Amino acid sequence: MLLSVQGQEDVVPIRGSRHLSEESSDSDSSAEGPVIITGNSPLTRHGKRATESCTHIGLRNAQEDRLILCPYLGSEDHIVLGVFDGTVGDFASHFCQQNFIRCLMNTQAYNEFKDDFLFSEGQSNKKALRYMKESVRRAFLDTDSSLLEQCRARSNHWASSTGVVAWIWKDFITVGHVGDSKACVGSIREGAVHGSFITHDHKADQPEELERIKKNGGSLAYLHGGKPYIRGGDFIRRQRNKEHPKQLNYSRAFGGKDLKCYGLIAEPTVSQFEISRQSKVLIIGSDGLWDVIAPDTACSVALAAQKEGRS
C-alpha cells in the first residue's frame, strides 16, 4: 500500500527521535524513536507498506502547505501521515507540523493504546481502534488549543489551517480531518483503478455547520464564484474600523482565533476503515492537489509510479 502526501522539505525531531539521513536503513530507523519526515521523500518501503511525499508550489509566491510523515510510530505496523494547508500565511500550518505528533503521543488514549497494543497483541482490535480514534480526536483539539495560545500571544487573529491525518495500524486506517484537505483510497476492481474520497469537506453552508455558526453569532457569505465562507458577527464593524477581518472557506480548522467564538471549531471528523484486498493506495493532500486532479487519475498515476519504481 502506497501512502502519498504533500509538504515542505525538512525533518522535525521530537523527544527521542532523530533526523532521517540518506544512510539510514529500515532496520535501524525506529531504534532511537520516531522519525518525522516533513519534506519531499522518495518511494521508500517500510515493512509491507511504502511511502512517498511530494510538494510543488505551483504559481504561488509562498508555500503554505506542510506535511508530516512518521513511518515508524514505535513499530513498522504504525504509520502516521498528515497534511496541513495554511491560510493567512504558514504560521498555523507550520505550528501543526511541528506539534501534532507530540500532541498525539501525549494523549491519554495513545498511551493506553501503547501500553496494551504497541509491543503486544493486546486484547482486541475493537478496543485498539477506540483508543486510536480518541487519540486522533484529542490530538486535533490539543494542537488547536496550543496554537490558539501562540496566536493570542502574537495578536495573530486569523492564521488558520486545514488538516488531514491518517494513522495506519495493521490493516486499519484511522483518519481525522478539519477543513477541505482530503484523503483518498485507490482500489483495483475488475482490472480498473478507482479512487474514492474517505473524507468530506467541512463547509459553512452545510446544515450542521451553518446551524452552529448562526447559533454562535456568525454568518454565511458566498464569495469568489459562489464559494461558502464563514464570517464573524463583528465583520462589518471591524471593516468600518479600518481593520482587515478575514473569512474562511471552511468551517472547521486549526487556529482562526477571532472566528472561534463565531462557530469555527477544530473538532475533527474521525473515521476508521479496514484495508481490503482491493485497496492499494492512500493519498492525502490539500486542495492544491485535489482542485486539479481527479481521485481516479491520482491513484492511477501513483500506482503506475510504484510499479515502475519511480517517484
The pLDDT value given to residue 122: 58
Are residues 25 and 170 both part of a single domain? yes
Are residues 151 and 19 both part of a single domain? yes
Q: Averaged over 239-267, what is the pLDDT?
A: 97
Are residues 211 and 290 both part of a single domain? no
> Which range has the worst mean pLDDT, 36-50, 190-204, 210-224?
36-50
Are residues 237 and 283 both part of a single domain? no
The pLDDT value given to residue 32: 55
- Measured between alpha carbons, how far is 286 from 190 in angstroms, rounded to an integer? 29
Q: Averaged over 241-268, what is the pLDDT?
A: 98
- Give per-residue pLDDT as tens, 13-67: 444 343 343 333 343 333 455 899 999 998 888 888 889 998 888 777 888 999 9
Q: Which residues constitute the domain of residue 118?
A: 2-202+267-308
Distances (CA, A) of 123 to 105, 129, 152, 172, 234: 21, 11, 43, 16, 51
- Give per-residue pLDDT as tens, 132-182: 999 999 999 999 999 999 999 999 999 999 999 999 999 999 999 999 999
The answer to whether residue 258 sits within a structural domain is no
Are residues 126 and 164 both part of a single domain? yes
Q: Averaged over 250-272, what is the pLDDT?
A: 99
Are residues 183 and 210 both part of a single domain? no
The answer to whether residue 254 sits within a structural domain is no
- The enclosing domain of 68 has a CATH number of 3.60.40.10
Q: How many domains in the chain?
A: 2
Q: What is the mean pLDDT of the chain?
A: 88
Are residues 278 and 138 both part of a single domain? yes
Are residues 133 and 229 both part of a single domain? no
pTM above 0.85, yes or no: yes
Are residues 58 and 107 both part of a single domain? yes
Q: Averaged over 244-258, what is the pLDDT?
A: 98
Sheet hosting strand 279-285, strand order edge to edge = 41-46, 49-53, 2-5, 279-285, 182-189, 192-197
- Measured between alpha carbons, how far is 21 from 11 in angstroms, rounded to an integer? 10
- Give per-residue pLDDT as tens, 185-195: 999 998 899 99
Are residues 189 and 235 both part of a single domain? no
The answer to whether residue 255 sits within a structural domain is no
